[in-house]
Chains A and B, each alone.
Chain A
Amino acid sequence: MENDLSPQDKKDLDKFIKFFALKTVQVIVQARLGEKICTRSSSSPTGSDWFNLAIKDIPEVTHEAKKALAGQLPGIGRSMCVEISLKTSEGDSMELETWCLEMNERCDKDIKVSYTVYNRLSLLLKSLLAITRVTPAYKLSRKQGHDYVILYRIYFGEVQLAGLGEGFQTVRVGLVGTPTGTITLSCAYRTNLAFMSARQIERTMPIMGIIIDHFNVGHMHPCNYRAAGEEEGVPYPVLEDSQEVCTTSFSTSPPSQCVFTVSKAHYKTPNPAVMDTLKVPMLGLAFSQQLCSSRLSHQTPVLGPADLCYPATLNAANPHQMVIPGKEGGVPQGPLQPCHGALAEHGRLPSCPPADATHRLSATPSGGEDTETLSQSSEAKSSSPSEALETTFSRKVGAFVNKPSTQVTTTSLDLPFAAFATRNFDLEENDPMVRPPDSPTPDSPLHGSLNSEDSIDSGGQHQDDFVMVDFKPAFSKDDLLPMDLGTFYREFQNPPQLSSLSIDVSAQSMAEDLDSLPEKLAIYERNIDEFDAFVDTLQ
């Protein structure tokens, strides 16, 4: 009977129970924080360590517990419960366990409150420390993080175990008899965690959010912008060479060069004539390679975009995209360039070195430097097709002019059409047919046509630098040609600017180009089978 209990004992007992309840909540909640708990032993007693145990007090938890208790104490019929639940990142929650601090009616009158009860409560807390690491929720709480978090709820009153699902287990932590009743501490935990573990597995599956955009415009933009202002990397020689090819086609072109003899009718782009001539279907690797490499070797800064666009337009005509400056995989980096809008869509790079060359090409405009390095690299890369290029090139050269084989060789060793590069000025100087000594632009009418206005201007400037008094193309006295080479040159010296190339190489034009990208992309995606087939033929 409670009457036997002295007031002091009663007071002490109430205090013990109250602080025991608070410490119980602290232990349970701290055990579910997901971290390892470590407290220090202290030989000197401190007044605040209840039950001689170093249990830290988290203020929020104490506040919540006091709020739940609302001034009451756990007693008979009044249990204090700590509910541990799991909440996923998607908002689903599930009760994991419920810790119950209850009191039953069995009293132990003879027990000493201040000593035995206190020590036993201390022992019970130690047991709680041990058991909280044993229930299944502990492991879950240690792994909480992005996928789920562990939550706690303190309530006072009747124990609610319905949320634990079927087959929940109960473990009794311990009990302490007191003169007013027996304090019991137990835990009811869910055993049916199967659904949780399955869901966790789902959630922990990495979400592959990486979308590889072949037309990595973003990556290219800087390059693109730089290319706009940049000068080199534009394969002027390419144009030259292509012009050569085309011009060759006009002449008695070798079979391999018949590719270029496609009439305008084949050109699908509405661009001006000159350019159209270049837009021959890419029917051969050699051709592609030539064009690609020529693009690389082109050096006129302003022409860069134009030149880059050139293949684009060319490719537009051809379902099978040829080399496009881009990543190793042949991802076209064209979109970065204003005129590369069309280029961009042509994602497919034939497995020819020019692909590498074009890869370099994109780098060149952005880098703006090391044209030589780039061309060298592309030269190395284009070594394999160099043979074909070489052959074609020589033929082409031969069509117009008997170029020294060395020159041809040099060109093929280097970037195709590298002879047209300004750095090969010496060689080209001797061969005005190949290109004007001074600048790449004037060399090829086609090239000029390919150029944007800026490039044409620059070409014009180049032309100004070079004054042909007597245009007598070297080695031009070739009776094989039905047309006088010199006449041809004069005729096509200043071809009209292609409309597709007449766009200003600036951000504005690029923006317009980019705007048209989606439709172009759609077109090319529709024709993807053709592209694939073309690539297969090239391989």
Chain B
Amino acid sequence: MNCRSEVLEVSVEGRQVDEAILALLHTILLHRSTGKFHYKKEGTYSIGTVGTQDIDCDFIDFTFVRVSSEELDRAIRKAVGEFKEALSNSGSDGMGQISLEFYQKKKSRWPFSDECIPWEVWSIKVNVVNLANEQERQICREKVGEKLGEKVINIVEVINRHEYLPKMPTQSEVDNVFDTSLKDVQPYLYKITYQITDSLGTSVSTTVRRLIKDTLAL
């Protein structure tokens, strides 16, 4: 199947990396999460309620809305933290890309493991800039806030095209479509990967790592 791929680019200061990526990832996940499914007899199900929360950024003049789920927030923050660490440990150019991929699992027969078929990939290209003084930082605060606003509008526009979405699964297949591990919300199955662009522009190691991960993933 065709995988929808969207790329968002942001240029931020070092301390804005976390918040900028969180803002975008949470905005995407807000649209890609539903309430918990409760299957009843006769193949019907009811859906739980998704709460929302306004989050003010500390280093950016921006407020974003995320799903009220501490578990989900923790998972996302963890991934973003790893990305930021890799970014800071990398070369001096400070460029990297973090991707949020929504996939479906396709059961395969033994001995083949299930496939993970992405149906939507959001890539956020991050360019870290260094600012000289406080005035520049203040300008950066506002500018990045505006940019993030534009990105949110982009995200909303893409999502509202109502292009391919996995079918609502039956009870037996819900885990192939949704991440049912959380107790309050149910996002589509997703994974977050990143790659750091080193000065040479290559990212062989991360790609290989990802291939291995995908192969071994159950």
Interface centre among A36, A123, A130 (most CB of B within 10 A): A130
A130–B50 CA distance with the chains assembled, in angstroms = 14
Interface membership of A196, Cβ < 8 A: no
Q: Is the interface of B mostly helix, strand, loop or mixed?
A: mixed
A425–B156 CA distance with the chains assembled, in angstroms = 93
Interface membership of A12, Cβ < 8 A: no
Interface membership of B185, Cβ < 8 A: yes
Q: Quick one: given A124-B160, A131-B153, A134-B152, are A49 and B31 in contact (CB under 8 Å)?
A: no
Provide 26 A-B residue pairs closer than 8 Å at the C-beta atoms, listed in order of the A residue.
Answer: A38-B53, A39-B51, A41-B35, A41-B51, A42-B35, A43-B35, A43-B36, A43-B48, A43-B183, A44-B38, A44-B48, A45-B38, A45-B49, A53-B49, A53-B51, A53-B52, A54-B68, A127-B160, A130-B27, A130-B31, A131-B153, A131-B156, A134-B153, A138-B63, A139-B61, A172-B160
Q: Which residues of B contact A406 (CB under 8 A)?
A: none
Complex interface residues of chain A between 34 and 84 (CB less than 8 A to chain B): 36-46, 49, 52-54
Give the interface of B toward A (CB within 8 A): 27, 30-31, 34-36, 38, 46-54, 56, 61, 63-65, 67-69, 149, 152-153, 155-157, 159-160, 162, 168, 183-185
Question: Across the two chains, which residue of chain B brings its CB closest to A124?
Answer: B160
Q: Which residues of B contact A123 (CB under 8 A)?
A: 31, 159-160, 162
Q: How far is the CB of B48 from chain A (nearest CB, A)?
A: 4
A176–B162 CA distance with the chains assembled, in angstroms = 9
Question: Across the two chains, which residue of chain A brings its CB closest to B36?
Answer: A43
Interface membership of A174, Cβ < 8 A: yes
Q: Which residues of A contact B49 (CB under 8 A)?
A: 41-42, 45-46, 49, 52-54
Question: Across the two chains, which residue of chain A brings its CB closest to B34?
Answer: A52
Determine which of A42, A134, A172, A173 lies in contact with B51 in the assembled complex, contact meaning CB atoms within 8 Å.
Answer: A42
Is the beta-carbon distance between B160 and A40 smaller than 8 angstroms?
A: no
A39–B30 CA distance with the chains assembled, in angstroms = 13
Interface membership of A129, Cβ < 8 A: yes
Is the beta-carbon distance between B52 and A39 smaller than 8 angstroms?
A: yes
Q: How far is the CB of A18 from chain B (nearest CB, A)?
A: 20
Number of interface residues of A (CB under 8 A): 36
Q: Which residues of A contact B35 (CB under 8 A)?
A: 41-43, 45, 52
Q: How far is the CB of A222 from chain B (nearest CB, A)?
A: 49
User: Would you give the 0/1 interface string for A86-115, flagging 1 where the beta carbon is closer than 8 Å to chain B?
Assistant: 000000000000000000000000000001
Is the beta-carbon distance between B50 and A41 smaller than 8 angstroms?
A: yes
Is the beta-carbon distance between A42 and B184 smaller than 8 angstroms?
A: yes
Q: Quick one: given A54-B52, A172-B157, are A120 and B68 in contact (CB under 8 Å)?
A: no
Determine which of A38, A45, A115 lies in contact with B68 in the assembled complex, contact meaning CB atoms within 8 Å.
Answer: A38
Q: How far is the CB of A295 from chain B (nearest CB, A)?
A: 56
Q: Which residues of A contact B31 (CB under 8 A)?
A: 123, 126-127, 130
Is the beta-carbon distance between B160 and A54 smaller than 8 angstroms?
A: no
Is the beta-carbon distance between A37 and B53 smaller than 8 angstroms?
A: yes
Interface membership of A507, Cβ < 8 A: no
Question: Across the two chains, which residue of chain A brings its CB closest to B47?
Answer: A52
Q: Which residues of B contact A40 (CB under 8 A)?
A: 51, 68
Q: Which residues of B contact A171 (CB under 8 A)?
A: 153
Is the beta-carbon distance between A45 and B50 smaller than 8 angstroms?
A: no
A139–B50 CA distance with the chains assembled, in angstroms = 25
User: Would you give the 0/1 interface string for A125-164, flagging 1 where the beta carbon is closer than 8 Å to chain B?
Assistant: 0110111011000110010000000000000000000000
Q: Which residues of A contact B48 (CB under 8 A)?
A: 41-45, 52
A53–B156 CA distance with the chains assembled, in angstroms = 17
A115–B157 CA distance with the chains assembled, in angstroms = 21
